[in-house]
């Protein structure tokens, strides 16, 4: 099995691991390890404990890394590990791709509304930095799609160079 085959999906979700991620997506994908790549969560024991509880309900293990830590350990992934990567926003994915992590596709789950963000759809709001990061991800020939849960309609994001940042 090639290293790229160990990553089943990479998801952007402001909530990191919750019911949809920790149970529904994990079980649908057949992932046995949820990998949270997030600077804050990698050092927050309480947040890890809460996410670990959700992961257990799907029968998956869960690991917490910074981008740099994951880049170092990924080449040593064991033959039986099937990874589901979760990040808070698109910026870590850019760093992972630049470091050579073989991400094939990115699922955008939730990027919450905040002041200074525009809607890409009803659950995904981006600021200029998010949009630029998504453009860079797309430039690596990575497929980007919005999909909340496995049974919902998948909306492919493409042509992001043509998207203009406009607040309404």
Please name every residue paired with 65 in a beta bridge, in sequence order, or none if there are none.
37
**Backbone angles phi and psi of 12, in degrees to 5:** -100, 120
Q: Per-residue DSSP letters for 100-168?
A: T----EEEEEEB---TT-EESSSSBEE-HHHHHHHHHHHHTT-EEEE-SSTTSPPEEE--GGG------
Q: Active-site residue among 18, 43, 88, 112?
A: 18
43 as an active site residue: the answer is no
| Residues taking part in catalysis | 18
């Amino acid at each position: 099995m090639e290293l790229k085959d160990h990553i089943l999906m990479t998801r952007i979700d402001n909530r990191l691991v919750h019911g949809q991620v920790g149970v529904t997506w994990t079980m649908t994908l057949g992932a046995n390890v949820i990998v949270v790549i997030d600077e804050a969560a990698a050092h927050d024991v309480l947040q890890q404990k809460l996410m670990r509880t959700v992961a257990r309900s799907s029968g998956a293990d869960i690991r917490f890394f910074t981008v740099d830590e994951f880049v170092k350990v990924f080449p040593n992934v064991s033959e039986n590990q099937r990874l589901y990567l979760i990040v808070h926003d698109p910026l870590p994915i850019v760093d992972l791709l630049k470091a050579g992590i073989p991400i094939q596709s990115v699922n955008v789950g939730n990027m919450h509304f905040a002041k200074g963000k525009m809607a890409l759809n009803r659950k995904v709001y981006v600021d200029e930095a998010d949009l630029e990061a998504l453009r860079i991800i797309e430039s690596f020939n990575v497929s980007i799609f919005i999909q909340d849960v496995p049974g919902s309609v998948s909306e492919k994001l493409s042509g992001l160079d043509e998207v203009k940042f406009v607040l309404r």
